A and B are shown apart, each in its own frame.
Chain A
Amino acid sequence: MFKNYLKTAWRNLINTKFYSALNIVGLTIGLAVGMLILIWVQDELSYDRFHSRGDSIFKVNASIGTGASKQVWGGVPGPVAAFALKEVPGVVSAVRVVTSYDYSVFRYKDKLLKEDFGKASYVDDAFFTMFDFKLLKGNVKTPFPNDQSIVITESTAKRYFGNEDPIGKILTGDSKDPYTVSGVLADFPANSSIGGDILFSMNVKKKQYTGKDFWKSMDQDWGNYYTTTFLQVRPDASVKAVGDKLTEIHMKNQPGIKPTDGVFQLQALKDIHLYNPDGTSAGIQIVKIFSIVAVLILLIACINYINLSTARSMLRSKEVSVRKIIGAERSQLFMQFIIETVLCFSIALVLAFSLIYAVMPVYNSISGKQMHFDLFNANVWQVIVLTIIATLVASSIYPALLLSSFKPINALKGKVAGAGNATFRKILVVCQFAFSVGLIIGTLIINKQLQYIHSIQLGYDKEHVFSLPMRAMQDHYEAIKAELLSHTEIKGISTGNTSVIIGNGSTSDTDWDGKASDVSLLISPFDMDKDFIGMFKLKFAAGTGFTGVKADSAHYILNETAVKLAGIKDPIGKRFKLHNVDGTIIGVVKDFHFASLKQTIEPAIFSYRPSSWQMFVKTTGKDAPTAIKLVEKYWKQYNANFPYEYSFLDDAYNEMYRSEQHTSTLFNVFAGIAIFISCLGLFGLATYTAQIKVKEIGIRKVLGASVGNITTMLSRDFLLLVLLAIVIASPIAWYAMNKWLMDYAYRAEINWWLIAVAGGGAIIIAFATISFQAVKAALANPVKSLRSE
């Protein structure tokens, strides 16, 4: 019986090549894209979930301030871990991870390699026992036998030592400090939030406290929120109680701190990838949106299948009735049609697999991930099985029920209930186009927001500016600057500890005249020379800038927001204290965006430093290569042991919105595919309609209808459906995208014409799809069609 079903299904597929091709192409693309998106979603959801103790590991975050100025930081002070272990019940283990910026190059023999910033960290020993990162070589209990030991990842070991045994080998940091490799760690999984190449002992960091500064030791430094601290707590411990206890300890140990500054909260390890420390979306929203998009695309593909198979069911009514008359039971026919769907799906699935394999490299590059489509991977099968079962059920049951329900006698005469009744199909077409239009509107709005980000007046000029760390050049800054400025290719030079694009943390260690006791102002400090403000074309709202005089070391410049939030009236000449330095406000700069546009502008304060670690060079687009070469000359002279490195601020700026760029590209692709699959279905339906109306068209033509009349007649109904879809989708898409935009403090406006463009586009595409068939039908010779009847 099964063989017979399969045989019939196969022959049906072959006999109706046109519709089979439409069905299979639609399904293939739908399944492939649906699965690609779901693989992406699965990858996002898999972050940090591979630790066996993962459920009981938490990251400590710190909440600072109250109300509008409240911030939640992902870093906490150094003592938190130590106190948590000693004094907080329920804490089993504590690990701190601190990014090291001490070295940028390492040397092994004559091999000198650059290490990217952020790829080296100091870690506590428990790092190797709390997490499941695998130490391939070395001792888990004593990973760092002494403070000059380092643990490196497998691929780092390969880079430096090739196939030699890395243990005992010496890597020299910045050509001065030798470190002995004491362990080799398996590379961090791509879906781990914790990563890096080189791990130092936390003792190295601890020793950087000399005891002479304000904060005597790492375990007493309650003022700097720079450690990422993980706690493993007993399963029965209350996470909130642990946080509260830590806050209480903080209050006790840092006298004078306000109860609202330094409240500790625990965040589950498995949440840190998708949620910000303050609980807002760091990606979970995109995961949700993409999941919905995947479901929509799969639904669109299913709808195609359902529409085409039910529309064409009339053509199969004879076969169904004959089978019934000679003894087929409804369940047997039902099975037959299910098997036809299964066959169609199986072919589409095989093609979809091939398609996924083929596009995976491109997909990885647009999504910025390293995903693999491995048919031997159980996770991949989770996605496949889920997708297939859901789509198969969605698309097989209705056609099978409909076809098997035909009354044999009526069906033989061509009277088929349900098949002629096209309401259901119409509803499905409306759904399909509503999904597509929704996706198009989403795409347009995302693109518009990105455009807006790029066009927004940032309040400074970052064009053609590149930055580099000065290293040894710092001691000769003035001379180098003077020499470089003599070249016409170089338009300006300045120095500062942080670029204008993104600030460098914030501090509440401030005071000013008239500061209320309950006010805490979180302010971002910028150190700069006298040319910084001019070079970046920051505008003054009041006062003047630094001039390089000695008195500038006690001068401050605030931004407008700082003045406003501090409540300082007529700020010029007023006293302001940052950290331990009392000074005078000499200027107020207009607000500028020194963070992602997702955030509102925060208070900023400029201090004068004649020379900082970083140099900014302004050039022009045309002269940039020469300017880079000119600077390189000095680099080679002073920093011979380091590879030359520089980066353009424009690139750094774009980097901030990379995830949006990825999202936008993916959205463009998905929306395009959704509309393509919908049009495949529409094309099939239009063809079918033209086919069954062949006689009507013939009669109308004989009676004098023009090609235009016929085309209109055939297209009108479909276009009405698309129009209805637009009406339904627009407000929903508008609402959803408005919600997405809420993430941004500065957002593009959603204009009515965006929706008009999306709708108009859908109508044009739909019309082009239908009219091809409609015109073809209208042009056919009526004599032929009437005779064939």
Chain B
Amino acid sequence: MIKISNLEKFYRTEEVETIALNKLSMEVATGEFVAIMGPSGCGKSTLLNILGMLDDPDAGSYVFNEIEVAHFNERKRADLRKHNIGFVFQSFNLIDELTVFENVELPLIYTGVAASERVKRVEEVLDKMQIMHRRNHYPQQLSGGQQQRVAIARAVVNKPKLILADEPTGNLDSSNGNDVMELLTDLNEQGTTIIMVTHSEHDARYSHRIIRLLDGQTVMENIMV
């Protein structure tokens, strides 16, 4: 599903140039659950942003579903993104002004799904995440675990082929964290490819494969059994 080769990304300020990704290459097959680990500043988040087409690389190739997307402009990337990729963040990133239902509904609105179909699909996914009873609440009224469930519900409501999770349990206690990891594992078992950035060895164990990064390069790959 994903093939990147010699990917490079630099961050420049007026005086300093930092290399975030240094000729990084990797592949992720459809249906895989991959964890990316490494110390702070190793380029995990940069990699995730490029994979999620939120950012573009400075050099190298990124093939997504057999399409070269490294040189796509923002509009094309956005289009590809909204139909194929769901995001889960450490800080949930729900919209405070919208209710649980409305937050989950949002991606469907942006992809132009009809209203009746939207209700059906949102209810289905809220049910699956077991937060149906909270559908009319606002994010501030929920616990962290519940917020992350809503965020995952929002990430999957459009039935994406790929879910990118950036430390999804980082803001949660271990019990809620485990619940979230179970949910991701379920989704993966139903066929969704998952790439997850994490600091937690415990969470990484839910994946099939761990890619360890240091200074923008792959230093090790562990296959989980």
Contacts and interface: CB of A to CB of B under 8 A. Distances in A.
Contacts of A318: 93
Interface in B199-221: none
A324 B52 CA distance: 12
Contacts of A7: 98, 102
Interface stretch (B28-36, B107-115, B123-131): B107-115
A408 interface: yes
Interface string B46-68: 00010010110000000000000
Contact-residue size bin, chain A (C-beta under 8 Å from the other chain): 20 to 34
A4 B109 contact: yes
Contact of A409 (B49, B83, B158): B49
Given A326-B106, A326-B107, A412 B97 contact: no
A11 B97 contact: yes
Contacts of B111: 327
B106 A409 contact: no
A323 B106 contact: yes
A327 B85 CA distance: 9
B82 interface: yes
Given A1-B109, A4-B102, A325 B87 contact: yes
Most chain A beta-carbon neighbours within 10 Å: one of B49, B55, B93, B110: B110
A7 B75 CA distance: 26
Nearest to A332: B110
Contacts of B94: 322
A12 interface: yes
A23 B32 CA distance: 51
B82 A326 contact: yes
B95 A319 contact: yes
Interface residues of B, number: 29
Given A323-B95, A409-B49, A329 B54 contact: no
Interface in A317-371: 318-319, 321-330, 332
A518 B75 CA distance: 83
Nearest to B79: A329
Nearest to B52: A325
Contacts, number: 63
Main SS at interface, chain A: helix
B154 interface: yes
A404 to B, nearest CB: 12
Nearest to A327: B82
B105 to A, nearest CB: 8
B78 interface: yes
Contacts of A321: 93
A15 interface: yes
B56 to A, nearest CB: 10
B23 interface: no
Interface string A466-490: 0000000000000000000000000
Interface in A500-529: none
B81 interface: yes
A379 interface: no
Given A4-B102, A4-B109, A409-B49, A325 B54 contact: yes
Nearest to B46: A409
Nearest to A9: B97
Interface in A296-331: 318-319, 321-330
B55 A409 contact: yes
A327 B158 contact: yes
Contact of A326 (B96, B102, B154): B154
Most chain A beta-carbon neighbours within 10 Å: one of B49, B87, B106, B158: B106
A326 B49 CA distance: 13
A614 interface: no
Interface in A583-613: none
Contacts of B75: 329-330
Most chain B beta-carbon neighbours within 10 Å: one of A7, A11, A321, A322: A322
Contacts of A329: 75, 78-79, 110
Nearest to A1: B109
B102 A412 contact: no
Contact of A12 (B87, B97, B155, B158): B97
B109 A319 contact: no
A585 B110 CA distance: 95
A409 B87 CA distance: 12
Contacts of B54: 325, 408-409
A28 B37 CA distance: 55
Contacts of A332: 110
Contacts of B97: 8, 11-12, 15, 319
B110 A322 contact: no
A19 to B, nearest CB: 14
Most chain B beta-carbon neighbours within 10 Å: one of A1, A4, A321, A325: A325
Given A8-B97, A8-B98, A319-B95, A326 B87 contact: yes
Contacts of B86: 326
Interface string A5-47: 0011001100100000000000000000000000000000000
Contacts of B102: 4, 7
Given A318-B93, A409-B49, A409-B55, A326 B110 contact: yes
Contacts of A323: 95, 106, 110
Interface in A434-474: none
B197 to A, nearest CB: 14
Nearest to A8: B97
A740 to B, nearest CB: 50
A458 B66 CA distance: 94
Contacts of B79: 329
A408 B53 CA distance: 11
A322 B54 CA distance: 11
A412 B97 CA distance: 17
A322 B95 contact: yes
B45 to A, nearest CB: 9
Contacts of A15: 96-97
B83 to A, nearest CB: 8
A715 to B, nearest CB: 31
A326 B81 CA distance: 8
A685 B109 CA distance: 34
A328 B102 CA distance: 14
Nearest to B94: A322
A302 to B, nearest CB: 25
B163 to A, nearest CB: 12
A69 B216 CA distance: 91
Contacts of B96: 15, 319
A416 B8 CA distance: 24
Contacts of A12: 97
Nearest to B154: A326
B93 A327 contact: no
A256 B75 CA distance: 86
Contacts of B155: 326
A11 B96 CA distance: 9
Most chain A beta-carbon neighbours within 10 Å: one of B49, B97, B106: B97
A327 B95 contact: no
Contacts of B107: 326-327
A325 B52 CA distance: 9
A329 B154 CA distance: 17
Given A7-B98, A11-B97, 19 more contacts: A4-B105, A4-B106, A8-B97, A318-B93, A322-B93, A323-B106, A325-B81, A325-B87, A325-B93, A326-B86, A326-B110, A326-B154, A327-B78, A327-B107, A327-B111, A328-B106, A328-B110, A329-B75, A409-B49
24 contacts: A4-B109, A8-B95, A8-B97, A11-B98, A12-B97, A15-B96, A322-B93, A325-B87, A326-B106, A326-B107, A326-B110, A327-B82, A327-B83, A327-B107, A327-B111, A327-B158, A328-B106, A328-B110, A329-B79, A329-B110, A332-B110, A408-B54, A409-B54, A409-B55
The list of the 4 closest CB pairs from A to B, nearest first, reads: A327-B82, A327-B110, A11-B97, A326-B107
